Chains A and B, each alone.
Chain A
Amino acid sequence: AAGVIQSPRHLIKEKRETATLKCYPIPRHDTVYWYQQGPGQDPQFLISFYEKMQSDKGSIPDRFSAQQFSDYHSELNMSSLELGDSALYFCASSSRRTGVNTEAFFGQGTRLTVV
């Protein structure tokens, strides 16, 4: 079965650079979520989109922005990168069309290292 696809899997950037992470949800899933997991931490919710509109926002820095496109894929743009942005970034997708949301499948994550 198709899963959530994230690219790239690994990314190394220097401080003050920008990074773009991509997420391709499971086919027919209409909702995308982004999470950030720092080393040794639990995942923290950043932002979510439903039908290409932002539906919820968590502790996302102003330097970060995200959007969901017409094909439902999503991109997380990160500017002025800081050392503290080094983390595993997860995308998850789910579907509201099928009823109450009982599943949330995660991609394999993008490991961002800022040097």
Chain B
Amino acid sequence: AQKITQTQPGMFVQEKEAVTLDCTYDTSDQSYGLFWYKQPSSGEMIFLIYQGSYDEQNATEGRYSLNFQKARKSANLVISASQLGDSAMYFCAMREGSGFGNEKLTFGTGTRLTIIP
């Protein structure tokens, strides 16, 4: 089974609207971390936001927030007031384990977000 599933290959959103990018995950670990990255056409991988499995509050970083629903194993990224510069590929990723051993990230297949002026 896929560990990270992103079901939206592509999305088109009007500028200034909010957008939700879906991510579901599969793990039997109690301790894990969920990450979102932005990859513009230039190729770099930009860290956006992190949510730990024991964090009770949803993570927020500026215009980014993570809608974490542990029972449903979902970690959707919400971008408020989208901007043209938000057009990029977005990857959801998971780190399983406590962070002191198996720390590699497993990525989803990504969602290509296009912001329309």
Contacts and interface: CB of A to CB of B under 8 A. Distances in A.
Nearest to A45: B104
A38 interface: no
Contact of A106 (B44, B103, B104, B108): B44
Contacts of A83: none
A101 B43 contact: no
Q: How large is the interface on A (under 10, 10 to 19, 20 to 34, 35 or more residues)?
A: 20 to 34
B44 A56 contact: no
Contacts of A99: 99
A90 interface: yes
A58 B105 CA distance: 11
A103 B99 CA distance: 10
B45 A43 contact: yes
Interface in A97-112: 99-109, 111
A74 interface: no
A96 B104 contact: no
B109 A42 contact: yes
Nearest to A104: B105
B102 A96 contact: no
A43 B91 contact: yes
A42 B43 contact: no
B98 interface: yes
Contacts of A107: 44
Contact of A90 (B45, B50, B95): B45
Given A42-B91, A43-B107, A106-B37, A100 B44 contact: no
Contacts of A102: 33, 50, 52, 99
A103 B47 contact: yes
14 contacts: A44-B107, A45-B104, A48-B104, A58-B104, A99-B99, A100-B98, A101-B103, A102-B33, A102-B99, A104-B35, A104-B95, A104-B103, A105-B47, A106-B46
Interface of B: 33, 35, 37, 43-47, 50, 52, 91, 95, 98-110
